[in-house]
Amino acid sequence: MPHEAISIFDIFKIGIGPSSSHTLGPWRAAQRFLISLQKNKKLTDVKQIEIILYGSLAKTGKGHGTDIAIQLGLSGDDPVTFDVNKIDEKINSIKKEKKILLNGVHEIDFNPDENIHFLFTETLPYHPNAVTFLAEYQDGEKIAETYYSIGGGFVKKEGEEESGNSTVQLPFPIDDANGLLHWCMKTGMSIHEVVMENETAWHNEADIKNGILNIWHVMQECIYRGCHTQGILPGGLNVKRRAADLNKKLIGERKYNDYDSWIKAIKEGGNNFKYILDWVSCFALAVNEENASFGRVVTAPTNGAAGVIPAVLQYFVVFCDGNRNESIIQFMLTASEIGCIFKKGATISAAMGGCQAEIGVSSAMAAAALTESMGGTQKQTLMASEIAMEHHLGLTCDPIGGLVQVPCIERNTMGAIKAITACQLALQGTPDFAKVSLDAVIKTMWDTALDMNSKYKETSDGGLAVHIPISLSEC
């Protein structure tokens, strides 16, 4: 079986909320389908397009903006660069005019209400998140392709072989935590150093570092924006944004005018436990309120769990003297490798594994990254990751109204706090006496995912989603 090589830039992707598997993935699938259309014939020969959503993509597609993402993807827009402030304008125009401009160059008739089909009761066997694109050319020829959004923005086309990254030869191939520890022990390198060596299979070191710092910059902007934006989240649940009010309360009368002076103002408030706890929650809330509002976020490793790692890294930067580029790079490299191991050994898709696969994995990634950044050994780092996941096992995904809001936003605060606690336990612990390994907890997570009822896997058919009376006026 070929080794799966996954880069840090696969785990951390810049995109648009609210969901990596239901928004970013379908968006990328639509872009790939455009490429197929162009390879087959001229794009200007396309007459019409139909989209069919299956399973989890159908059941929570409206709440997760799947239909919106697909329309933007077919329009040729890119989630990394598209202006999030223009989403409503573009989608409303397509709906009003009943036309879509394929790849920005070829206009065809398109009515979202008629051309996007939600098959709520049908699921394809490979993965619950499936979308089929059907296109007809002017001469009557038809083309159909099915894509699976398998979590974290990763997309697999039906029938295709392993991704191109599988052919990349890494200096230190890693499939599990034991393999990672093997290379650390053999070379004497720390986890982030091993990961950096592997990353050089794709990029030079300078580009890797710049790319990581750019990802952190997007995270910083997201935190800052979320902490200064008030209002009601879209979707019809009428959930009030809380991060801005909490930020205002915690800052008090201290003045600032940009991100750097804001960080300074936060530090001036002290470092007592309650104060730090409130700020960690505020950072996480900010990111996921932005995510729920179709804002610019980074998959970490998913959009639904996008607030955990930024919140813990911001905690490290502000309260642990971690505001140095090298420390931030080290943190992100370590976090990414833990995410890769979970993806290989289990899943990072809530539609496959429930919320343990999103918040649980992100908390495990953050715990490991913080532990190594705080001077922990390789074994302590893996121990922290294990502790964080162990206490997320069985966590279900039951979004009310199919929206990435309740309980998703608050869960990011809990994941962040658990990561910090796991780090502290590991730093004060002795890994050689630990009863549970990271590989064992990953296998347990996957077994739990397989046993979990499908109604708890991002379908809104169980849990809070069916026990909270709501009226979705906008959904």
CATH classification at residue 59: 3.30.1330.90
The per-residue pLDDT for 214 is 98
Contact between 46 and 106 (Cβ < 8 Å): yes
Residues 277 and 409 in one domain: yes
In this predicted structure, which of 158-167, 191-200, 291-300 has the lowest mean pLDDT?
Answer: 158-167
Whether 472 shows a pLDDT value over 60: the answer reads no
For residue 30, the surrounding DSSP H or E stretch is helix 25-40
Asked whether residue 351 is domain-assigned, the answer is yes
What is the tens place of the pLDDT at every residue in 390-442? 999 999 999 999 999 999 999 999 999 999 999 999 999 999 999 999 999 99
In a domain, 343, yes or no: yes
Confidence (pTM): 0.94
For residues 5 and 10, give the distance between their C-alpha atoms in angstroms, rounded to a whole number.
10
Query: Rounded to an integer, what distance in angstroms lies between the CA atom of residue 141 and that of residue 156?
Result: 24
From the number of C-beta atoms within 10 Å of its C-beta (0-12, 13-18, 19+), residue 257 rates as exposed
Burial of 226 (0-12, 13-18, 19+ CB in 10 A): buried
Q: State the pLDDT confidence band at 4, using cuts at 50, 70 and 90.
A: confident
* Residue 386 reports pLDDT greater than 70: yes
Residues 6+ apart with CB under 8 A from 35: none
pLDDT at 473: 39
pLDDT class for 165, splitting at 50, 70, 90?
A: low
Query: Tokens 């074994």, residue?
Result: 379
> Are 189 and 267 within one domain?
yes
348 with 403, same domain? yes
2 pLDDT higher than 90 = no
Residue 472: inside a domain, yes or no?
no
Q: Are 147 and 155 in contact (CB under 8 A)?
A: yes
How far does CA 5 lie from the centroid of its chain?
Answer: 19
Asked if the structure places residue 50 within a domain, the reply is yes
Q: Where is pLDDT greater, at 68 or 63?
A: 68
Residue with tokens 């827009």: 77
Q: Are residues 273 and 411 in the same domain?
A: yes
Q: Distance between CA atoms of 432 and 443, rounded to whole angstroms?
A: 20
Q: Say if 51 falls within a structural domain.
A: yes
Query: Per the structure block, which two tokens stand in for 126?
Result: 């490979």
Residues 160 and 200 in one domain: no
Determine the residue type at 18: P
| Shared domain check, 196 and 140 | no
177 and 138 share a domain?
no
- At 13 the pLDDT is 97
**472 or 150, higher pLDDT:** 150
3 state DSSP class of 294: coil
Is residue 72 within 8 A of residue 82, CB to CB? The reply is yes
Write down the pLDDT at residue 164: 43
The one-character DSSP state at 24 is I
Report residue 166's pLDDT band, with 50, 70 and 90 as the boundaries. Answer: low
Strands of 66-122, DSSP E: 99-102, 106-109, 116-119
Interior/surface letters 26-41, b for 16+ CB within 10 angstroms, e for the rest: bbbbbbbbbeebbeee
| Long-range contact pairs involving 253-258 (C-beta distance under 8 Å, separation at least 24) | none
Mean pLDDT of the chain: 95
Q: Say how many domains are in the chain.
A: 2
Q: In this predicted structure, what is the pLDDT of residue 160?
A: 82
Question: 10 Å Cβ neighbour count for 323?
Answer: 14
- pLDDT bin (cut points 50, 70, 90) of residue 199 is very high
Cβ count within 10 A of residue 469: 6
CB atoms within 10 A of CB 25: 31
How many Cβ atoms sit within 10 Å of the Cβ of residue 440? Answer: 14
* Mean pLDDT value of segment 259-287: 97
- Domain end residue (candidates: 164, 188, 216): 164
Assess whether 151 and 193 both reside in one domain: no
Angle ∠(135,52,350) on CA atoms, nearest 5: 135
Asked which of 112, 136, 164 is the last residue of a domain, the reply is 164
pLDDT given for residue 471 in this prediction: 56
Q: Tell me: do 102 and 195 sit in the same domain.
A: no
pLDDT band at 1 (very low <50, low <70, confident <90, very high): very low
Look at residues 44, 16, 147, 51 and name the one whose alpha carbon lies nearest to residue 101: 44
Report which DSSP code applies to 457: B
Q: Say if CB 402 and CB 475 are below 8 A apart.
A: yes
Residues 317/318/324/328 CA torsion (nearest 10 deg): 10
Residue 157, phi then psi, degrees to nearest 5: -85, 140
In a shared domain, residues 177 and 61: no
In a domain, 474, yes or no: no
Which pLDDT tens digit goes with each residue over 211-250? 999 999 999 999 999 999 999 999 999 999 999 999 999 9
The verdict on 326 and 267 lying in the same domain is yes
Is the domain of 24 the same as that of 104? yes
Residue 140 domain flag: yes
Q: Is residue 475 part of a domain?
A: no
Range of the domain at 133: 8-164
Quick check: bond before 18 cis, omega within 30? yes
